[in-house]
Copies of this chain bind each other. A is one copy, B any other.
Amino acid sequence: MIRVTVWNEYLHEINQPEVAAIYPDGIHGCIKAFLEANPEITVKTATLDMENHGLTEEILNETDVLIWWGHMAHDKVSDETAQLVQKHVLAGMGLVALHSAHHSKPMKLLMGTTLNLKWRHGDRERVWCINPSHPIAKGIPEQFVLEKEEMYGEPFDIPEPDETVFMGWFAGGEVFRSGVTFRRGKGRIFYFQPGHEEYPIYHDKNVQRVIENAVFWACGNSERMEIICENPEPLEK
């Protein structure tokens, strides 16, 4: 059984009726629902407004994979929580960062770059799978269309990814590395670009399948364990 925690900023859904109409239970509720259709996955949720943003040492200790969605309130997340997430990823927790989570505090801490990019609302995207044998691509067609999506465009200021799984084509003329993987410490990180709140992206079957695959991939094989500093005696004399 894989234990997932979905973290959501949960502000757009409260303040914008048109977003609430798409996600009546919040983006986290939508993700929880489609993931729990898989009997091997169990999901908890946490939001910005909860105490400690709903992410304590205890909760993360019981999280195999953390999914993160945030957008307009990245700076409202405390440094302590961001560092706690970073610590758990380095010790083996998987992280799936969705859409504008590229600019979230945990991603900035883990990547070390600005993660800046181009953006524009109301574009149309073709998501191309360029690494069809990657576990995250299982069951995904060669390409699929998101009729309405926010354009995210290159140059995208990330470290050279370990693997590029998806690339996005936008009708407005831009391209983007839409699905990329990174290992940091003992943890596996997948960044996936689709998911602007004003469009029903997380109701798309292909997007759902990618996120479900990413949960299995990011879960990895690792019990939580930090790589520590040691001052050992010589093994050889």
Binding site for B on A (CB under 8 A): 86, 90, 92, 109-114, 116-120, 123, 126, 128-135, 138, 142-143, 153-157, 159-160, 162-164, 167-175, 177, 182-188, 220-222, 225-236
Q: A128-B154, A235-B126, A236-B172 are in contact. Are A159 and B184 (CB under 8 A)?
A: yes
Task: Tell me the complex Cα distance, A234–B151, Å.
Answer: 10
User: Which B residue's beta carbon lies closest to that of A167?
Assistant: B175
- Which residues in B have their C-beta under 8 angstroms from that of A157? 90, 185, 227
User: Which B residue's beta carbon lies closest to that of A103?
Assistant: B229
Q: Are A116 and B175 in contact (CB under 8 A)?
A: no
Q: Are B114 and A130 in contact (CB under 8 A)?
A: no
Q: Are A120 and B173 in contact (CB under 8 A)?
A: no
Q: A184-B159, A230-B118, A232-B120 are in contact. Are A221 and B138 (CB under 8 A)?
A: yes
Task: Tell me the complex Cα distance, A142–B128, Å.
Answer: 22
- Which residues in B have their C-beta under 8 angstroms from that of A111? 112
Q: Are B173 and A234 in contact (CB under 8 A)?
A: yes
User: Which B residue's beta carbon lies closest to that of A92?
Assistant: B133
Task: Tell me the complex Cα distance, A109–B111, Å.
Answer: 8
| A112 contact from B86, B138, B173, Cβ within 8 A | B86
